[in-house]
Structure formats: structure tokens, C-alpha cells
Amino acid sequence: MNDAEFLAALRDLVGANHVHSDPADLEPVLADWWDIAHGGAVAAVYPGSTAEVAAVMRLCAQLGRTVVPQGGNTGLCRGATPQPGGRGIVLGLRRMTALREIDTPSNIVVAEAGLPLAALHDALAEHGRRLPLHLGSEGSAQLGGLISTNAGGTGALRYGPMRDMVAGIEVVLPDGRVLTDLDALRKNNTGYDLKHLFIGAEGTLGIVTAAAFRIHPALRSSAHAWLAVDALDDAVRLLVSLQERFDTAIQAVELLSADQVDLVLRYIPRSRLPLDTMPKWSLMIELGASDPTAPLQAALEDWLASAFEEGLIADAFLAQNQTQAADIWHVRHGVSDANKQHGRSLSHDVAVRPARLPQMIARCSDAVTAAYPQARILIVSHIGDGNVHFIAHFAHDDWAAVPDQSATVKHVMGMVHDIVTNLGGTFSAEHGIGRKLAGELAQRADPARLTIMRGIKDHLDPQRLMNPGAIFPA
């Protein structure tokens, strides 16, 4: 079947309006979020139902056409960008946005994969509920993509990544069969738990079309603080002390280095430092509870007093109202934008156990600055879960002067990933593998693990049509 016949068959299945093959329509779909990678496809296809997804998958399996699933296209590792020269399809679920069910007594919501995360947040708020997944791209990132990349964010310290929130999925397999598990039971021990294979599989095993999520009651009391800390070891000690006292009341603990805060203050409107001097390390804390009578503000003040006494904090700002709290988080959320304006960031999404974090940051900083004295090291860390965005940042002029940019990117990445993996850490904490890190995975992962992954892939997708090049090198 030639391309024209293939397109006609696709139009028969989902309707002519939902098969985009014009180069102008295709262009944004074929580029990644950074606009670094550009791939090829015959069409972008937007089915309107699980049955239509299944029909499209059957057709592609019959014809040996590749399928690249794409959600909001906000991924950072090129997992949703087809291979250059690809002659298959990009499959999007933006028409599948139904909230199939909100079961508030059971604390379960069932939603379709094309719904953006922010839209789900809004819908749940009307029912006094929330899904505690928060990340920068939540306005456009879709649930299906967030599941397929096992999204992390600031709440993972307390609630885990997306994997921990998914109670069940509906997935269309590469051959068009539909696997449905939306009963969303908290306990169900009837054989292997298959949903965890598809969560974080980056669309290499099938298409997630809907999911059931465990939801939580809305927060009705909170407390927010910005702590000035002199040494990273103290930041870890504070984290431990905070967890021992507040455990599950902790909603977020974020760490920024002084240079990072400095860049945000320079570039982001309405950003301000609520302390007298720039701290070496900034620790931002949010506590929250569903009980409106929980005395979190007083308890946090009490804890801060004891931390001062122990000499762990140089200075601290305890927000007295929601505006002051929002000011703290406004600085945290300004990071990406500020860095983009100032220069080129070589960003590494790494993680180690929290206890090893000071050592990891020190070693990586020393190695990179020794090789590239013009680089500024910026640290943005979800410290509570050990995840560090380790950024070697070059001002625009400095980056332009780098002789071989591509080799520099690889050189820095190799240094950072070597140090992190030697400390028992991971070179991809929350962003996934995609096409960007498929080579790293092939090189660094345990061969036994890769063999099993490949065996599962071959069992479910024997023709290797699903998202080729992602996770496994093409």
C-alpha cells in the first residue's frame, strides 16, 4: 500500500479532519520541545475513541507502519519525535479528553489520556479533590504522556512520581488488542501487575488511552518557608529533621544555589528575595494538610526555632499569608525561563539518595569547572527525593565561543553521568530516556536488565513498530 492509499485508509478510520498530512500542519508535530530534533511521518492522526485507536493500530500492524505516540509534546528527551525519514504516523489523543468518572467516596478519577493535567486539576478542585502531580508544563502536558514518561515534579518526595498515583490503565497494544484495568482497586493480587510495564515505557509497548488515578482531599491548611543555609550537609540535615517531625505533611522541599536564585532575580519580573542577603543555598519548604485545624504554621515556626538553635539555618522567612507564599514559589518557577534568557544550559536530570547529594554536587561541580572555567554551575534540586537538575550554564557569548559545541555537550554529560552512577545514582531521574539518552542506556544499564526489557518489547511488539528509536537505539 502506498502513502496515498495509507492516508485514505486512515481517513476512513478516524475521519478526514483528523488525519493531518500537510507539511505545514505536520511541522510542529515533527519537532521536539527544544526544536532540536526534526523527524518524518506521513501523517499526524487523531482518533476520537479507544476503538478508533485500536483500528489505527491494527492497520499500522498490518502494513508495518511505525507509530509514534505524542501527548502535549513537552517531553525533554525527544521521546515523541519520530526518526528522520520516518514513513509512519504520529498518533495524538487530544480529542480524547473525557472525564469518564469521578468516584469521590473511593477517591478515584478515571480520565482519558488526551486531557491536559491542568484541566484535570481544575475539574478535581470542584469536587474538593486533587492529584498531587505538579510540574512546569502542566498546562499542555497530557495525562497519557505523563503516564508514559512517569512524570515526577515537586510532589514526588511525598506522593512519589506518576507511577504511584495510577490505579489502573486502559492501553491499546501494538496489534490492536485493548487491555483494560480501570477497576482501580487498592488491593488486587491476581497475577502479574502489568500496568507498571506501560507506565514509563514511553510509548514503546502500546498506547495508553485512559487511566484511573488515586486522588486526595484538597489541602485546607499550609505553611511555607524560605531558609538560608550555608552548607549542603546542613541542607540534608534539615531535610532529615523535617521528615522526622512532619513526614507526610511535607508537600515540597526544593533547593536552589545562590547563582541560580541570582539569575531568576535578574530576569523574572516580580521576583524578590525575602531575606536580607543572598544565601549560599536556598531551601524552600511547603507543609500541607487536609485538616483545616492542623496547626502547621505554629509547628513550622517551632521547628525553625530549634533548627536555628542547632546552627543549621543562617536566616529564614516564614510566609505570613498566601501572597508571601506565592512569592517564594514564583522564584522557584522562574528558573527555566531565566536560564533560557541568560544563556545555554547543559542540564542533567540526575538523582542519588539524599544522603549522597552533597558529595555528588561537589564532585560534579569540581569536574565541570576544572574543564570549563567559564561555566557557571546552577543547582535546582527536588532535594527530598534526591533529584538534582545539575546545570552547567554558559552565558550566550561564552557558548558562542565554544569551538565544538556538540562535543562539549557530550563531554560534560559523560563526566556528570560517570560521577552520578559511581555514587549509585541514575542519569535520568524524571525526564526519561527518549531518543536523547537511548545510547546512554544501552551503554550504562545492566545487560541482564536490557535483555529482559528487549524480551518484553519483542513479545508485545514483535515488528518493532512502536516508537522506534525511543529507549532502545534505532
Site for its own copies in 313-332 (CB under 8 A): none
Q: Are strands 207-214 and 166-172 parallel, antiparallel or unpaired?
A: antiparallel
Give long-range contacts, CB 8 A cutoff, 24+ apart: 149-155.
149/75, 149/79, 149/200, 149/202, 149/431, 149/432, 150/199, 150/200, 150/430, 150/432, 151/430, 152/382, 152/385, 152/387, 152/429, 152/430, 153/382, 153/430, 154/252, 154/254, 154/382, 155/251, 155/252
Q: Least CB distance from residue 177 to its own copies, whole Å?
A: 5
Identity of the residue, 11 or 216, whose beta carbon is nearer to its own copies in the bound complex: 216
Touching its own copies, residues 338-357 (CB under 8 A): 351-356
Question: Which of residues 51 and 179 has its CB atom nearest to its own copies in the complex?
Answer: 179
Q: In this chain, which of 92, 114, 279, 425 binds its own copies, going by CB under 8 A? A: 425
By CB under 8 A, which span of 11-19, 266-274, 316-324, 429-437 interacts with its own copies? 429-437
**Is residue 270 within the footprint of its own copies (CB under 8 A)?**
no
Cβ distance to its own copies smaller for residue 113 or 352:
352
Kind of pairing between the strands at 281-289 and 207-214? unpaired
Output 51 or 265, the one with its CB closest to its own copies.
51
Return the residue of 43, 53, 211, 453 that touches its own copies, per CB under 8 A. Answer: 453
Of the residues 178, 314, 395, 409, which one makes contact with its own copies according to CB under 8 A: 178
Question: Is 231 among the residues that bind its own copies (CB under 8 A)?
Answer: no
Q: Mark 373-412 with x for binding to its own copies (rule: CB under 8 A) and - for no binding.
A: ---------x--xxx-------------------------
**Which part of the chain contacts its own copies (CB under 8 A), choosing from 5-13, 188-196, 221-229, 266-274?**
188-196
Q: How far is the CB of 411 from its own copies (least distance, A)?
A: 21
Residue 88 or 432: which CB sits closer to its own copies?
432
Does 102 bind its own copies (CB under 8 A)? Our answer is no
Looking at residues 32 to 51 of the shown chain, list those that interact with its own copies (rule: CB under 8 A): none
**In the range 6-35, which residues lie near its own copies by CB under 8 A?**
none
How many residues contact its own copies, by CB under 8 A?
Answer: 94
105 near its own copies, judged by CB under 8 A: yes
196 binds its own copies (CB under 8 A): yes
Give whichever of 12 and 193 is closer to its own copies, judged by the CB atom. 193
Interactions with its own copies, residue window 273-302 (CB under 8 A): 289-291, 293-295, 299, 302
Considering the rule CB under 8 A, would residue 309 count as an interface residue with its own copies?
no
